Structure 1
Amino acid sequence: MKIRSVLLLTLLFLGAIFAQTAAAGVMDGDVIRIGTEATYPPFEFRNEKNEIVGYEIDIALEIAEILGKKVEIVDMAFDGLIPALLTRKVDLLAAGMTNTEERRKKVGFSTVYYDIENAFVVRSDDDSMTGLDDLKGKIATVQM
């Protein structure tokens, strides 16, 4: 059942991307330029051969194959992704980007294909952290 759900979500995602890329004129060229920040494994990262790979890259490559297009992956700073899309330096983004109201005012998002929940991790022998309130006054690191 889980595989069917993933396949259905992927097909919905591909349909949404196809409609958006056609409307944006992406279908006119031979190459789809995909903007990413390759520092977010397993979604997009550089492997031991320095190639950009990952879950979202696999999806983008599948989209390109379905559309009969070649792919150029453009690695850049995360804060440059939306401006690059808006100025047509890239054709679509594959970057683990959260769909927020502010971003929706600028760009379109596909159907959700991955739902993530946030968590924090502590040592198994540390029972001082059991909830978010326990983080008050502590130093924590995050990736957004």
Structure 2
Amino acid sequence: MRGFPPIQIFLLCLAFIVLAVPLSHLTGNTSNAKVIKVAAKEANSVKALLRLRFAHQPSTLSLKIADKELITTTDASPLELDAVLPSTKEGVDVFLSATWPDNTPDTALTLELEPDGLEARSQTRWSAAGSLDEVITFSWK
């Protein structure tokens, strides 16, 4: 005798379900926890376009966001680069430091920050006596 095919299919499906449920619990939980932690870290960071313009070329220039040095050289104005911001919820602090050669008049530096999905913001600071050392805060609401 060959058996009744619907009963054989039912028994096969039952055996599959009995084995699949414990296997999914064993293999699924550990990898999901790691992915959630990594995704949470990446969810807080935001990609942004950063532009720095100056009228007179500085002799030294330093721009830091979240203790990460982004610009250390002075090329032609404007300088543009892609940056990763830690978060824009509480604002972003940019540490800007620059010096100019002697006999350079007071000059302006404009910093523009444009995070993905948010409006661009720019702020201008003026040097005094050939140097500039500022903390510039950008915020979006």
Both proteins in one fold, TM over 0.5: no
**Rg larger in structure:** 2
Q: Give the TM-score, by structure 1 length.
A: 0.22
User: Which of the two has greater helix per residue?
Assistant: 1
Structure-2-length-normalised TM-score:
0.22
